């Protein structure tokens, strides 16, 4: 392993909430320009998230987000702190008891003086108000989110946000394609469209035939992650799963895809990639922190682009559409093998973007299919 | 932690067990995962309402370093018959807090204990987590890799061979191994099917389970071995195509097996499955086997 465990930086896994909210230790990172109360970047992320979401101090976004803060999601783009405040308030109104349980924060100190954090969150929330999903269902659901943030001088200055919305809506009793049809009616702004187009073209140009590999002795996080993307997603060589995953690895993918072991993981990847058989993947950011003495945590932000080959009858009219995904993955790696993976992206927005772009009007489930 | 888990079901002691729960603890029961104290507390209270306050008639502890397991049988104090309900817990911990816990209740036995129709109890169970099972190649190709017990944990030499043969019974359907590794007088408890002496009922059960499903595949998840090195708990599941009234349903059956081994022979086994949660998850017809 190329990463040593830095035991002085806050690690979330075994910490009670009270200890996380009142850190007792001394400051462990320079954190230039950050409030003195924060001892490290993990502490900063955990506490500001708690204050904004669980204590409902939505206005603290003004303190912890920069005036101009691009926030990228597959469902839309927002650019300023005012939009962050408004979107936060709308979500809390629709899901007033939303809890944000911090599962992990994987961080990186960048060369330009910023900190990059990748925050894995589990939320429990009851849908008592109307939302972009539709009318209130009064049902409680769980959802996994990964928020990747660039932090500088006490503020988040850029964010990529992915949420497993397809898993959430299935608990709320909503149909995935119906939700995507509703979402497709929302009109994204011009900046989103520019970003979507440029990202799609960038990812599609990835050189997918170059062979990337590593040996046990030359193993680095970067070589491993790039080989994972190239070999599995770009070249579809699924028998090589054994080079990347432990034979009993736990694998969580959106919509409730839970796999254990190589056969099931292989099935999940094949089924998912079959809907975009020419998929190209790029690795857009890698962060790594130690978990324990022989285990590391890796955070990856990635993109996939290609051509849609629907396997859901209701989406058959979208065949040939542009397929683009913004995704994040947290993996726990022991002895150079993934033992646990959580991958998050928004399947509703994925389909909604294609429906909107196609210009087709798809019927809702209740209208008959 | 074992005492605190037991005290929940016998005394309703929420406070002690709550002190072991983190903000990020996940408690899976009836195939529903509760996160955080509010959801977990609600699950406990629902269990207490269903079970009542019971007494422990049997318990087995598997104390591992990071993962431990507990098997308990509970019955009513006042009852004159032998009805009881068993619960198996498999959990990740650091000796101070529980991070993730999977609890499997023998709900068929619970229905009998409560003298309820299974359909009544099914309605009362929480809605299981959404699960999207991908199709995969279930075959054991010569060059493909499938987890064996030694891949999942460092088994002590004294039990390694027995445990690997036990897994072959399920993964490779090697029925001849029953004779090699089970004591003639082994005490075997199969969820929903009661307790038996010897392996014959378990062998019949294994055959029925695999024959009831097409393309069945067994996958190990985790193993914890007791410090005394004679007992262990295995968390695993079976995937397969279940044909229900002519309709093919891809299903997953979560299982926890607790094994006690003496002189390379299994002398006791508890095979735990939450049958009613399974019926609820996949809307299956009763009974499964």
In a domain, B62, yes or no: yes
Domain range for residue B239?
149-282
Residues in chain A within 8 Å Cβ distance of B146: 247, 261-263
Cross-strand partners of A288? A298
Percentages of chain B per state (helix, strand, coil), in multiples of 5: 30, 40, 30
Say how far apart CA A132 and CA B245 lie, in whole Å.
38
Distance of CA A64 to the CA centre of its chain: 21
In a domain, B154, yes or no: yes
Which CATH number belongs to the domain containing residue B258 in this structure?
3.10.450.50
Pair (B113, B180) in one structural domain: no
Nearest to A267 among B24, B33, B134 (CB): B134
In a domain, B120, yes or no: yes
**Of chain B residues 66-105, which have a CB less than 8 A from chain A?**
94, 96-97, 99
In a domain, B289, yes or no: no
In a domain, B76, yes or no: yes
B131 touches chain A (CB under 8 A): yes
Of the two residues A82 and A161, the one the predictor is more confident about is A161
> Hey, do A17-191 and A205-360 end up sharing a CATH topology, with the first three levels equal?
yes
Region A1-12: what's the mean pLDDT? 75
Closest approach of chain B CAs to the CA of A194, in angstroms?
34
CATH topology of domain A205-360: Nuclear Transport Factor 2; Chain: A, (3.10.450)
Q: Which two tokens stand for residue B100?
A: 């993730």
Pair (B233, B112) in one structural domain: no
Nearest residue of chain A to residue B19 (CA atoms): A16
Count other C-beta atoms under 10 Å from residue A121's C-beta. Answer: 22
Q: Are B94 and B82 in contact (CB under 8 A)?
A: no
Pair (B89, B165) in one structural domain: no
∠ CA B91-B96-B100, rounded to 5°: 25
Looking at residue A3, its pLDDT comes to 63
B145 touches chain A (CB under 8 A): yes
Q: Which two tokens stand for residue B113?
A: 């204990």
Domain boundary among B60, B89, B124: B124
In a domain, B138, yes or no: no
Name which of B135, B145, B282 to mutate to probe chain A: the one with the most chain A Cβ atoms within 10 A of its Cβ: B145
The residues spanned by each domain of chain A are: 17-191, 205-360
Q: Which two tokens stand for residue A144?
A: 């996994």
- How many domains does chain B fold into? 2
Asked if B99's CB is within 8 angstroms of A256's CB, the reply is: no
Q: Are A282 and A302 in contact (CB under 8 A)?
A: yes
> In chain B, which ranges are continuous DSSP H helix?
2-11, 14-18, 36-51, 107-113, 118-124, 149-152, 157-171, 177-181, 200-212, 275-282
Pair (B238, B275) in one structural domain: yes
Nearest CA to B272 among B70, B125, B18?
B70
Nearest residue of chain B to residue A267 (CA atoms): B136
- ipTM of this model? 0.94
> What is the mean pLDDT of each successive set of 10 residues along chain B, which is 289 residues long?
93 94 95 92 92 90 95 82 89 96 96 91 95 88 87 94 96 94 96 94 94 93 93 97 90 97 97 97 85
Asked if B146's CB is within 8 angstroms of A263's CB, the reply is: yes
Per residue in B135-190, pLDDT (tens digit) is 888 887 877 889 999 999 999 999 999 999 999 999 999 999 999 999 999 999 99
As a CATH number, domain A17-191 is 3.10.450.50
């Amino acid at each position: 392993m190329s990463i040593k465990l830095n035991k002085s930086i806050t690690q979330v896994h075994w910490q009670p909430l009270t200890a996380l909210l009142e850190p007792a230790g001394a400051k462990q990172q320079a954190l230039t320009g950050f409030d003195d109360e924060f001892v490290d970047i993990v502490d900063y992320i955990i506490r500001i998230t708690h204050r904004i979401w669980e204590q409902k101090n939505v206005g603290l976004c003004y303190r912890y987000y920069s005036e101009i803060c691009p926030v990228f999601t597959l469902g839309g783009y927002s650019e300023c702190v005012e939009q962050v405040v408004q979107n936060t308030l709308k979500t809390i109104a629709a899901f007033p008891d939303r809890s944000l349980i911090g599962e992990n924060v994987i961080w990186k100190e960048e060369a330009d003086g910023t900190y990059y954090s990748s925050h894995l969150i589990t939320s429990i929330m009851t849908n008592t108000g109307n939302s972009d999903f539709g009318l209130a269902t009064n049902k409680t659901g769980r959802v996994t989110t990964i928020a990747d943030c660039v932090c500088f001088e006490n503020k988040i200055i850029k964010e990529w946000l992915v949420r497993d919305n397809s898993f959430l809506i299935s608990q709320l009793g909503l149909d995935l394609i119906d939700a995507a049809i509703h979402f497709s009616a929302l009109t994204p702004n011009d900046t989103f469209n520019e970003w979507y187009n440029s990202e799609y073209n960038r990812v599609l140009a990835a050189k997918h035939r170059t062979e990337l590999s590593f040996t046990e002795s030359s193993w680095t996080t970067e070589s491993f992650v790039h080989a994972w993307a190239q070999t599995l997603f770009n070249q579809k060589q699924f028998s090589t799963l054994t080079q990347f995953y432990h034979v009993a690895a736990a694998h969580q993918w959106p919509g409730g895809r839970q796999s254990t072991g190589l056969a099931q993981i292989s099935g999940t990847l094949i089924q998912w990639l079959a809907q975009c058989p020419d998929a190209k993947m790029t690795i857009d950011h890698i962060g790594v922190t130690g978990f324990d003495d022989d285990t590391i945590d890796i955070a990856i932000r990635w993109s996939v682009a290609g051509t849609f080959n629907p396997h859901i009858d209701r989406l058959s009219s979208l065949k040939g559409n542009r397929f683009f995904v913004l995704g994040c993955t947290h993996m726990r790696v022991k002895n150079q093998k993934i033992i646990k993976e959580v991958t998050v992206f928004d399947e509703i927005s994925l389909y909604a973007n294609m429906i909107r772009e196609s210009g087709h009007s798809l019927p809702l489930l209740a209208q008959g299919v | 932690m074992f005492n605190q888990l037991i005290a929940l079901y016998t005394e309703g002691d929420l406070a002690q067990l709550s002190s072991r729960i983190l903000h990020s603890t996940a408690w899976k029961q009836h195939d529903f995962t509760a996160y955080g104290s509010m959801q977990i507390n609600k699950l406990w209270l629902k269990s207490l309402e269903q079970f009542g306050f019971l007494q422990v008639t049997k318990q087995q502890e598997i104390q591992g370093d990071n993962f431990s397991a507990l098997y308990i049988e509970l019955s009513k104090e006042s009852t004159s018959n032998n009805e009881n309900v068993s619960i198996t817990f498999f959990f990740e911990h650091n000796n101070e807090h529980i991070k993730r816990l999977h609890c499997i209740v023998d709900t068929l036995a619970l229905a009998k204990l409560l003298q309820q129709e299974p359909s009544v109890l099914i309605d009362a169970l929480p809605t299981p987590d959404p699960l999207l099972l991908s199709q995969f190649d279930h075959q054991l190709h010569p060059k493909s890799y499938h987890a064996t017990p030694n891949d999942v944990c460092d088994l002590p030499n004294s039990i390694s061979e027995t445990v690997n043969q036990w897994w072959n019974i399920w993964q490779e359907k090697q029925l001849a191994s029953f004779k090699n590794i089970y004591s003639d007088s082994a005490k075997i408890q199969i969820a929903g099917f009661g307790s038996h002496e010897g392996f014959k009922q378990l062998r019949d059960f294994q055959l029925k389970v695999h024959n009831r499903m097409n393309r069945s595949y067994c996958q190990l998840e985790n193993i914890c071995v007791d410090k005394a090195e004679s007992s262990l708990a295995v968390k695993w599941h079976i995937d397969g195509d279940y044909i229900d009234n002519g309709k093919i349903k891809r299903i997953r059956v979560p299982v926890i097996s607790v094994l006690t081994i003496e002189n390379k022979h299994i002398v006791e086994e508890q095979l735990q499955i939450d049958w009613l949660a399974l019926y609820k998850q996949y809307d299956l017809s009763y009974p499964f086997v």
